[in-house]
Amino acid sequence: MDVLNALVLFLNFVMIPATAYGAQLALGALGVTLIYAVLRFSNFAHGDMMAFGTMLVVLVTWGLQSLGVSLGPLPTALLALPIGILGTIVLALVTDASVYRFYRSKRSEPVIFVIASVGVMFVYNALTRFVIGTDDQRFEDGARFVVKVGDFRKWSGLDEGLAIRTSQLITVVVMILTVAFVFWFLQKTRTGKAMRAYSDNEDLALLSGISPERVVRITWILAAALAVIAGTLYGLDKSFRPFTYFQLLLPIFAAAIVGGIGHPLGAVAGGFVVAYSEVMVTYAYKGVLTYLLPEAWRPEGLVQMLGTDYKFAVSFIILVVVLLIRPTGIFRGRTI
Amino acid sequence: MIRVEDLHLHFGGIRAVDGASVNIAKGSITGLIGPNGAGKSTLFNVIAGLYRPTSGKVWLDGEDVTGLSPHALFHKGLLRTFQIAHEFASLTVRENLMMVPAEQPGEVLWDAWFKPGRVRAREAEVRARADEVIDFLEIPHVADELAGNLSGGQKKLLELGRTMMVDAKIVFLDEVGAGVNRTLLNTIGDAILRLNRERGYTFCMVEHDMDFIGRLCDPVIVMAEGKVLTVGHPAEVMKNEAVIEAYLGRGLKNRKASAMGPA
Ligand SMILES: Nc1ncnc2c1ncn2[C@@H]1O[C@H](COP(=O)(O)OP(=O)(O)OP(=O)(O)O)[C@@H](O)[C@H]1O
Ligand SMILES: [Mg+2]
C-alpha cells in the first residue's frame, strides 16, 4: 500500500505536471529547431512570439466569453487558437519581410541574424506588454479536472490522491496531434521535402527548382503556429504573463540543443528531457520517502535537490553540459 | 549564348577571376581547362549567380544576367554541377532528382490540400522522369538509398542526373568526370554528346582529363591566374607555348602532345 501511495504521489506531483510541461517545451523547441534548420539562426524572439500569440488567444477568448460562446467542458481558448495562430503568422511574415529578408539578400552571417532576432524580441515584448500589460492573466475555463483527487481516492482506496487537469490532458493530446502533423508534413509533402532539402544544402537548393522564399515562408508559418500552440497550452496549464514566456526561452533552447538543434525528433525528445529533469530536481521527495523508508530512516528535511526558484539553473546546467560533452545533442543535429 | 565580359572577382587580395572574357556558342560543348586555382570554379560560381562579381558583366542570350540569383538563373535554363558533389543528404536519390523541377503544385499549400489530383499527376510525371534518369545513369540499385550514403563517384553521377531532370539551355559541368571510373566516364561522355545532339543542350565543362576534353570539346578555353590565356581547338591549344608553360609544364610537353593525337 505504501509503495502505491508513493507511486501516486510521484505521478501526481512529478510525472503528470512534467509530461504536460515537456509537451509545451517540445512544441516550443520544435519551432526553434525548424527556424534553425532552414534559416540557420537561433531565433531569440521565439519566446516573445509565443507571448504575442498567446496574448491574441487570451484577448479573443475574453471576447468569446463575453459573447457567451463556450466549448462546454473544453477551454474556450481552443476556439480562439486558430485566430491567434493567424495573427501571429502575419506578424512573423511581416517581420521576415521587413527584417530577415534584408540580411538574407546580403547573405549575412548567422550571428547577424541572431542579433537581429534579439532586436525583434524587444519589439515583440514591448508590443505584448503595451497591449495586455505585464500582469498575470487567467483565461482557463470549462471543466478544471478530468480526474479529481477525491474521486481517485474513493476509487482506489489510497491515502494519496491523483488529479489530472483538463489543461494537462489537452496539452498532451494537442502536442501529439501537432507533432504528428509536422512530421507527416516534413516526410511526405513536396513542401516538407523542399524544407529538408533547403536545410541539407542551401547552395544546391538555390540552384534547383526549390523556391527559397516559399520555403522560408512555410517555415515561419509552421514556427509561428507551433509558438502559439505551445504558448497557449502553457498559459492554460499555468497562467499567462509575458515575462514568463521570455524566461521560457532558456528551457526551450536547452531542449532544442539537448535533442540536437535542427533535428525535429530531437526537439521533442529534448523537451521531455528538460521538463523531467527540471521537475524531478526541484521536487521535494519527503512525502515519497516517508512512504517507502522504514520509520527510523524517514527524512526530516524536504529532500529537495534544488529550490523551485532555481529551476532555470537546471536548463542552464543541461545546456552547458551538453555543449561540453556532446554538442550535437542526442540525435545528431542540423538536419531535418 | 553566354558572353562574359571583363569579369573580376576578388576575395580580399586574391584575384580569383581577373578580367576574364569568355564566349560560349549555342550548341557547343566548350571545354574550360587550366591549372589548379586558375579560377575555373569561381568563374562558374559567378556565372551561376552564387557570387556577385567585383566588376564585369554576364550575358545570357543577349540579356544582362549579372548578379541575378542562382534561382532566377535556374529558371532561365542555366544549370550547373559542383566540383565537390552536393546532395540533399537526408533525401533519397530519387527524391533528390525529384526536387529539381520547379513550380510543382505540391509546393503550394493551397494546391496540396485542395487539388490533390493535379498534385498527384504532376508528381507521377516527375517520378517517371527521375526513373528514366536513374536507368540512364545505371544506378537503379541505389535509387532509394539516402544520397548522403552514396560513394563519391555515385554522387558525381547524381550531379549529372540533376541536370537531366529539366530541359536546360546551358549546363556547366565542374569536373563531373573526376573520381569516376573509366567505363563510367565513357558513359558520361556519351550522355553529354547525346544530350547535346538530341536535346540541344549547350555545355561548358571543366575537366583535367585531356583525353576526355579532346574527345568531347570544341573549342577549349584555357585559364590561368584568373585570366583567359587562349581559346581554340583542343589539339591547337595543346601546342600553344603559353599553355604549355602555364599548364602542362615543360617536361610534359611531348607526352601530352602525343596523347592528344593528331587533330
Ligand atoms: N570563397 C573563397 N574565398 C577565398 N578565396 C577563394 C574562394 N574560392 C576560391 N578562392 C581562391 O580563388 C582561386 C581560384 O579558385 P578556383 O576554385 O576557382 O580554382 P579552379 O580553377 O577551380 O581550381 P581547381 O582545378 O583546383 O578546381 C584560388 O586561389 C582559391 O584559393
Ligand atoms: Mg575548380
**Which of the residues A38, A89, A101, A204 would you substitute to probe the B interface, choosing the one with the greatest number of B C-beta atoms within 10 Å?**
A204
Q: Do A201 and B106 touch (CB under 8 A)?
A: no
Mean predicted confidence (pLDDT) in B89-96: 92
Shared domain check, B249 and B171: yes
B105 assigned to some structural domain: yes
Shared domain check, B26 and B127: no
Q: Do B71 and A203 touch (CB under 8 A)?
A: no
Q: Which of A273, A295, A299 is nearest to A284 (CA)?
A: A299
Domain count, chain B: 2
B14 assigned to some structural domain: yes
CA distance A249 to A2: 39
**Residue environment code for B235-256, b if the CB has 16+ CB neighbours within 10 A, otherwise e:** eebbebeebbebbbeeeeeeeb
- One-letter identity of residue B146: L
Indicate if the alpha-carbon torsion angle B78, B81, B87, B92 is positive or negative.
positive
- How far is ligand 2, taken at its centre, from the CA of residue B206, in Å? 8
Q: Which residues contact B195 (CB under 8 A, 6 or more apart)?
A: B164, B171, B201, B203
All three cell numbers of B261, joined, read 593525337
All three cell numbers of B83, joined, read 566540383
B135 assigned to some structural domain: yes
Q: Is the ipTM of this complex over 0.90?
A: no
CA distance A274 to A152: 29
Residue A73 neighbours by CB distance under 10 Å: 12
What pLDDT was estimated at residue A118? Answer: 96
B246 assigned to some structural domain: yes
Q: Is B14 on the interface with A (CB under 8 A)?
A: no
**Which of the residues A181, A193, A332 would you substitute to probe the B interface, choosing the one with the greatest number of B C-beta atoms within 10 Å?**
A193
Shared domain check, B185 and B234: yes
Shared domain check, B202 and B107: no
- How far is ligand 1, taken at its centre, from the CA of residue B20, in Å? 14
Confidence of residue A333 (pLDDT cuts 50, 70, 90): low
Q: Cα angle at A306 between A301 and A309, to 5 degrees?
A: 115
Using a pLDDT cut of 70, give the percent of chain B over it.
Answer: 89
Q: What is the pLDDT of residues A192-244, one digit of tens each?
A: 999 999 998 888 888 877 888 889 999 999 999 999 999 999 999 999 999 99
B158 assigned to some structural domain: no
B90: chain A residues, CB-CB within 8 Å: 196, 200, 335-336
Residue B262 pLDDT > 50, yes or no? no
Its domain, for residue B28, covers 2-87+166-260
B157 assigned to some structural domain: no
Residue A10 pLDDT > 60, yes or no? yes
Q: Is B159 on the interface with A (CB under 8 A)?
A: no
> Domain extents for chain A?
2-325
B155 assigned to some structural domain: no
Shared domain check, B73 and B195: yes
Shared domain check, B120 and B231: no
Shared domain check, B124 and B65: no
Do β-strands B29-33 and B202-206 pair in parallel, antiparallel, or remain unpaired? parallel
* DSSP string across A146-162: EE-HHHHHHHH--SS--
Mean predicted confidence (pLDDT) in B157-175: 90
Q: What is the pLDDT of residues A251-282, one digit of tens each?
A: 999 999 998 888 889 999 999 999 999 999 99
Shared domain check, B170 and B83: yes
Q: Do B99 and A191 touch (CB under 8 A)?
A: no
B37 assigned to some structural domain: yes
Distance from CA of B125 to the nearest CA of A (A): 14
Q: Which of A234, A225, A230, A246 is nearest to A83 (CA)?
A: A225
Candidates A189, A193, A209; nearest CB to B102: A209
Distance from CA of B30 to the nearest CA of A (A): 21
Shared domain check, B256 and B185: yes
Confidence of residue A191 (pLDDT cuts 50, 70, 90): confident
Q: A2-325: which CATH architecture?
A: Orthogonal Bundle (1.10)
What mean pLDDT is reported for chain B? 84
Q: Is B87 on the interface with A (CB under 8 A)?
A: yes
What pLDDT was estimated at residue A309? Answer: 82
Shared domain check, B202 and B141: no
CATH of the domain at B51: 3.40.50.300
Shared domain check, B171 and B83: yes
CA distance B1 to B9: 22
Q: Which residues contact A217 (CB under 8 A, 6 or more apart)?
A: A93, A96
Shared domain check, B171 and B82: yes
